[in-house]
Every structure is written in structure tokens, then in C-alpha cells.
Chains A and B, each alone.
Chain A
Amino acid sequence: MANGLDIESILAADCGSTMTKVILIDVADGQYRFVAQGEALSTIEPPQADVLLGVRHAIGQIEEATGRLLLDEKGQLITPEQASGNGVDAFVATTSAASPLRLILAGLTRDVSIESARRAISSTYALVEDTISLDNGAQREKRSAEARIRILQRHQPDAVLIVGGTDGGATAPVADIAEVVALACSIMDGAARPQIVFAGNKEARPLVAEILGGKGELRAVDNVRPALDVENLAAAREEMDTLYRERKVARIPGFGGLSAWSSVAVLLTTRAFGYLIQYLARQYALNVVGVDIGGATVTVASVIDGHFTSVSRNDLGLSHNVTRVSTEAGFENILRWLPFDMEVTEAHNIIANKQLRPTTVPQTRRDLLLEQAIAREALRLTLVEAQQSWAGRPSVPYPGLFPFSDLIVGGGGVLAHASHYGQAALILLDALQPIGVSNLALDVTSMSAPLGVTATIEPLAAAQVVERDGFLSLGTVVAPVGTAREGEIALQLKITYEDGRALEMEVPYGSLEVLPRAKGQPLNWKVERWVLSLMPVADL
């Protein structure tokens, strides 16, 4: 093949709960480049019930745009790429289309072991249906044995994650929890029995195995709290991912066909998104925060001071989970972002209809700005959990505020399809409230996750596409931190462009000033060039 590359052309698909997106990457002038994108409704629900159908529809759009044949007359992928230019060398895919893993968390204390369990599953597509603990947490409501068993029987979860105890500590309390789970399992149909994952006191493993006997399949992993002041989430997190792939992803209608096309295992979208954020942080030695506002999931993946974390809220989003955002955030918080009045009833109706018709897009300005307001709140809610994972890092000097981030990458339909890039920038600024100096980049073609999985078969392709076509620069934000009176001049600044022109400005406290980009500057976050001089006036 040309340029000594084994794989020249790649189709990378992301099969979401609402939309399926496919990008085509190919070599041009010896470099991998983004060529085209197709987007179609996902087809996992009846009557189609075949994920591959939506992929074919999206590929069809790429065929229309490029004139290149990618599917044969039977709808099968043409691979490898042929001398005529038809077909591709590789196909890769990510998905977030499966239903979440439904979990019951069982542990000794809600504030310690169960909180660790929650953090362990924060990056998995999981929904916690309920928790069972010996201390009953802050509510102090004493749940009877019947009530605990009934919780398991009523929810019929996919898995029960049992945590509790420090390694080498007492085993009896963990045994109590295991006994409740065992009794509940024994009254369930064999097929309905949940997978039991034990991530507690490792000394208690034999006892837990004995109690559970044949009543449920047990997998034991490292304790999430081996000592009171030590948290170890990696093994539990890995196990939850494995379970999700086995119990949910593999059961997506048509997943077998998607897997058969794929050159490597189909990745979870959040994982692939995380890979890309990690790549950017490593390649350019930056603190990077990536946010993805999807229809059913909101993800914040970050590398801060070299530490990667990923938090997903699988119950928040702008389509399937949009009413959950309004319930949790409250209409008052959503409507505050609108530049016009809107009655709660009107907003409520629009939101309820969006949940009923998750694939629709705003056609009016009122609809659009309401959707963007919801996006701000969905992101803010997710950020609350992400902030816990950043606590104590050197780049987080102000607890509760955003970390110092060199690059913020925004993705998801609501950002990519904003009518002006300024709207996308404002959504990110309002929701994240970054501090210090950050570049804002927009994943305008929704290629973050597809590139993350592309990197697993051809790292050079992912690197070169990120470098040249990856993201659109929304600008650089400079956000000093400090206290002053509202409206008081807080900052004097001077920006000097590459051509020697300069602009001076005073910035009042609590305001947002927009400085123009130099004329002719490419919209690439890597080549911004200017000098900004700042002189704090207030206590910043």
C-alpha cells in the first residue's frame, strides 16, 4: 500500500442511543485526513431492531457525499479498499446504545464503602437502582430483612456489587450483607438472578462464596477500600465494564453483525472518548477536560496533573433523559439562561415532547436556546461528580472550582449543531466556569469517540486527524479568580497580534469581554498566536 501504511482508509462509527455517526478517514498527500461524515437515526428499537441498519444509512450518506462505493449490493462492507477506490481497509466502532447495567449496591456504610462503589461505577454505563447497607445512611430508616430482599426481588438488577470492610478486618458484617443477597437470589428464577461482584474485605471472600453457594454467580475483585484511607477502584471498575459488555452491549440487536465488520472489539463510547482525551494530554503535555453532552449520557473525561478520570451521568441527557435534567436541576435554573421570558409550562411541554420524540432538533430560536439552557444544567450536574475526582490535585487550587485546564474539548449534538460557534463557547463557559487560561475546542464533526477507537488499530491515523482536522478552535478564555465589587474594573489588558496590531481593554468584574481573533487565523486550537498582557486591578 502507498506510503508503507497497512491501513489507509478507515470507517469509524459511533452508535449512540439516538444517532449513529460514521466518519471516513483516508490518506491524502501522505497524511491521514478526515474525509466525510454521515449521520442517521439509530436503529436499535423495533421495528428495525438492527444496529447495523443505522450504520448502513450513515455510510450511505458518505457514499452520496464522496461518490465512493463502500457497501456492496447486499449491504456488506467492501473491504479492503479496492484499486477503484471503493471500500475501506478497516472498520471500527464504539457504542453507547445498550441499556445501562442496572445495579444494586450493597455495603456496610453508605458514606464510606458504598460511596467508593459509586465512584467505581461512575464511568460505566450503570444505573444504581437502590442501595442496601447495614447503617441505612443518613436516613436512619431501619430496613427490615424483608424490605432488603424485596428491593432485590423488585428491581431484578443485572448485578449486585457488594462492598465493605477493610482488608484483614472483621468478616461478620460483610457476611450479613451476603446472606441477604443470597436469600434474595434463592427466590429468583435462575435466569433472573443477578451477577454478584464482591469488592470488599478480601479475607471475607471464602465466607461470601460459601454463603452464596450456588445461588448466584460470584466474581471477586480487589477491595474498593482496602484500608480506611485508601481507595482502589480499578479492579471493580474493570469488572463492571466487563459485565456491561457481556450483559448489555452483546445483546444490542444486530451487534453480531457490527462486531463482524469491526477490525477490533467494539469499544464503549465513553472509553473511546477517554482514550482521545488521554492522547491529547500526553501528546501535548496539557491538562485536558473533555465533555460530551449526549442524548442519554453526559460524560466529563479529564487528565489533570497526569491523572485520568472519567465521570458519566447515564441518567442525564438532551433527549432520552431530558426530563431528568429538568427534574434534578429545576426549571428556575434552566430558565435563568434564556434571554427572553418563558413560562414554566411552555418549557415543561417542550421538554416532555423532546423526551417523547428524542430524535428531533430545535427549529425555532426559542426551542434552540431552551435546549442549550438544558445542556448547561446537564453539564453542571455532571460536573458536581467530576469535581470530587479532582479534589486535592495541584491544578485545583480552589476547591469547588474548575481545575486549571489548558484545553477544554466540547462534544455532543447540542454543541456541534449550535447555530453559532459563540453559542457553543457560551454553553461551555456557563456550565464549566473555567479558571485561568484555557483553549476551547469544539468537536464539530463528533469524531472524538471514533478517533479514540481508531487509535487502537492505527494510532498514526488518529494522531494526524486530531492534528489537522480534529477540532475547531472556539477561542481562548482568560478567567482570573478573585473578589471585587460587581462592575468594578477588575482587569486591564492588552492583546498584541502577530501582525503587530494591538487592542487594549478594561474588564469590569463579573463581565465577559470578547476579543476578536486575528484576521485570517485558521480555526485550529494549536496555532493561535498572540501575546496577551494582563494587569489585575482588583484583588485577583
Chain B
Amino acid sequence: MYYPSVTQATPLTVIKRERLLPMRGEVLASMGARVESSDVVARASVGGDLHVVDVGKTLSVKGEDLDQYLLKAVGDTVEEGEAIAAKGRGRIPLRRVCRSPVAGKIVAIGSERVVLESRAETFELHAHFRGTVISVMPSLGVVIETVGALVQGVWGAGGEAQGVLKMLAEDPKENLEAEAIDVGCHGSIIVGGSSIDEKALEIAEQMQVRGIVVGSIGVDLGERASDFPCPVIATEGMGQVPMASVIFELLRSNAGREASISGLTRLRWGTVRPEIIIPLQGRGATPPPQQLRGALEVGAQVRVIRQPYLGSVGQVVSLPSQPRVVDSGARLRGAEVELERKGRVFVPYANLELIG
């Protein structure tokens, strides 16, 4: 038995996502609330720069004496130039005053020093996709549920965005060309087949697209794509790899619909994969019951996740009981897979994943 990893490329499923603040704050959405992608569901105060004021040195006092000269305490807000400690009383000429260099809040006092945090900003957490709040975690965030299509990518960059899906390729092997990106792409999530080059990225930025989905991206463009002002997702990996047909067709069938895209990627210790959510709630669609994915079986739809068949999708036709020698010379256990356009091939188990 082999238990492979799974990539979701599902036309209709129940999608639940935790929406969490980066730090404790206030949850605004209530249980059961219907939310749109742009709705603010929670907010928090994000600290500014730190400033350390050496009060002991300014007033020429030692730590144990400092308390009697402090005019402020931890948690107090101060204005720029406001006195935070003073030595001497009233209007006597020798009075020494230690003033705050910034407007902000006192966050710590110790060792003759005061730590100030300049004025905080408010962070707003959006719903990200249309759905229903099914759980509220006070001070932390919410869980939102929707019904819709879900596609997981492999590599992603950028944050979150929403827009209408727009197909710019006819075939999964077709690159996302600069010429195909015009003013009609403004505000859209554009989808190519295979890869994208630097020129196309430039034009996409000029046209202010909301997101880019391609099969793959060259490593030399990885840094440029990471700096792109909106999310970029590769569904297969790095290099020049066509988008898996099952993903391409799924996105094509949803062209013109509103989608939510997240480029956030974490490969370990709490894996997060980039994804495209296409909410279909309210369209009368009922998702099939969710099945637990288990062992690899004959008939399963799989994707190959390493060369020489990277990105190819097919069906498992047999599970040989004995290992086989592959091109590298290694003897490996694996499956016989009927790949689209490539026919029946042997692929090591480790290079297969379930997709669907």
C-alpha cells in the first residue's frame, strides 16, 4: 500500500478556511454572518517603530531611583516632546526633563530605560472569499465556509486578491504571452497555460491585473514574481512545465467567474499551499460528499510530480508487486500509469500524487 500526497483540483466542494489576525485584536463578524470577499471580519492594532530612551543617563539617576522620577507608566500614550520623566520640582532652574522623541505608547520600562512604540496602525482582516462565518474565535479570527471550486498550486508569491478569472491561453502548453494581456485584463486574475516571461509580467503589472495563474515559472523569474504587486501562482512548479490538463480545464470552465486567489506558500511546519477559490454558493450546486483520500489504487487519477513526466495527468492501471529498474538505474516500487498523450508508463510511487 502506498499513501500519496493529494492536490485538490475540485469543481465543487465545501471549502472552510481559518481567517486569523497576525496578533490578538477584535473580531467584527458574527457567527452565521454572510460575508463578501472585501468585508472586514476582524482588525488589530499593529505596532510601529521602537525607540529606547535612556532616562537614567538623561537624568543622571540609577535604576533603583528611577521610579520616583517617572511621569508615565507602561501602557500610557505620549505625544512627541512630552515629558516622560523629570528630576527636580516645580520651576526650579536645575530641573532636568526627559522627553519622548515620538508620539506613541510606552511599552516597557527597565534598566534605566524606557521603550516607546511609535503610533500603531490598524490592520484589517478581510473575508477574502464570499461565504458564511461558521465559527468565531474571540480576539483571533473566524472560520468562513463556502461551496465552490478549489485549485491548489505548488508555488506561490504575494498575498491575497479577488477578481474575475480570465483565460489567456487556449491550451495548457501555451505560454502566457505579453501580447495577450490588454486593457481588458485590468482587475482580472489572468490564467496562462505553461509559463510566463518577464515582458508578460511587466505588461500584467501595467494593466493592474489582480493575479496570475500559470503552470510554471522559471527560477530566474522567481524573485521578480515574488515582488509582483499581486499574487502569482504556479500549479506545477519551476521551469517550463504545461499546466496539468485537469487544472486547466477546471479554470477554463469557471472563466468569467469571481475568484479569490492566495499566493501564500509555506512548505513545512504547517503547510500552506497557494490556491484559487471560486465560490459557487447560491448557484444551486450541491457538492458531493467529501471522501477521505487513502492508499493509491487502480483507477485513481494521478499527477506525476517529477521529471520526465512532470505535470502529466493519468490513471493508475496497475500496481506491480515488485520494484522495477527505472532510467536512473535505481530499483523502485511504483505504479503503471496511463498518461494523456504519453501512453502507459511506470512511475515510482514517490513521484505520484492524487489529484482531483
Contact = CB atoms under 8 A, between A and B. Distances in A.
Contacts of A211: 110-111
A358 B113 contact: no
Interface in A10-65: 17, 40-41, 43, 45-47, 53, 57, 60-61, 64
A350 B307 contact: yes
Contact of B50 (A40, A146, A359): A146
A353 B267 CA distance: 12
B255 interface: no
A419 B326 CA distance: 9
Interface stretch (B31-39, B200-208, B224-232, B345-353): B345-353
Nearest to B268: A320
A419 B222 contact: no
A361 B310 CA distance: 12
Nearest to B345: A363
B50 A45 contact: no
Interface in A335-392: 345, 348-350, 352-353, 355-365, 367-368
Contacts of A349: 218-219, 238-239
Interface stretch (B3-11, B77-85, B277-285): B3-11
B122 interface: no
A189 interface: yes
Nearest to B238: A352
Nearest to A350: B307
B1 A146 contact: no
A350 B271 CA distance: 21
Contacts of A364: 307-308, 327-328
B104 interface: no
A514 B132 CA distance: 69
Interface in B2-28: 2-6, 23-24
B6 A57 contact: no
Contacts of B219: 345, 348-349, 352
Contacts, number: 145
A149 interface: yes
A417 B54 CA distance: 60
A365 B325 CA distance: 12
A360 B329 contact: no
A466 B92 CA distance: 85
**For this complex, into which size category does the number of interface residues on chain B fall?**
35 or more
B330 A182 contact: no
B348 A363 contact: yes
A363 B5 contact: no
A99 B269 CA distance: 6
Contacts of A532: none
Contact of B328 (A45, A144, A365): A365
Nearest to B219: A348
Interface string A407-446: 0000000000111100000000000000000000000000
Contact of A179 (B110, B155, B239, B307): B110
B332 A361 contact: yes
A368 B330 contact: yes
A356 B351 contact: no
A333 interface: no
A356 B117 contact: no
Interface string B106-148: 0110110101010000000000000000000000000000000
Contacts of B4: 41
Residue in B23, B154, B306 with the greatest tally of chain A CB atoms within 10 Å: B306
B270 interface: yes
Nearest to A419: B329
Contacts of B329: 365, 368, 419-420
B330 A361 contact: yes
Contacts of B268: 17, 45, 99, 296, 320
Given A149-B50, A345-B219, A349-B239, A189 B6 contact: no
Given A146-B52, A186-B108, A367 B307 contact: yes
Contacts of B269: 45, 99
A183 interface: yes
Given A60-B1, A348-B219, A357-B305, A365 B327 contact: yes
A359 B52 contact: no
A356 B113 contact: no
B21 to A, nearest CB: 12
A145 interface: yes
A153 interface: yes
Given A360-B306, A364-B327, A368-B328, 14 more contacts: A40-B2, A47-B6, A57-B2, A57-B3, A145-B52, A179-B110, A183-B113, A296-B268, A348-B220, A353-B238, A356-B155, A357-B237, A360-B305, A365-B329
22 contacts: A40-B3, A46-B270, A57-B1, A60-B1, A145-B52, A183-B108, A187-B50, A187-B117, A211-B110, A215-B110, A320-B267, A320-B268, A345-B219, A349-B238, A352-B237, A359-B350, A363-B348, A364-B328, A367-B306, A368-B328, A368-B330, A419-B329
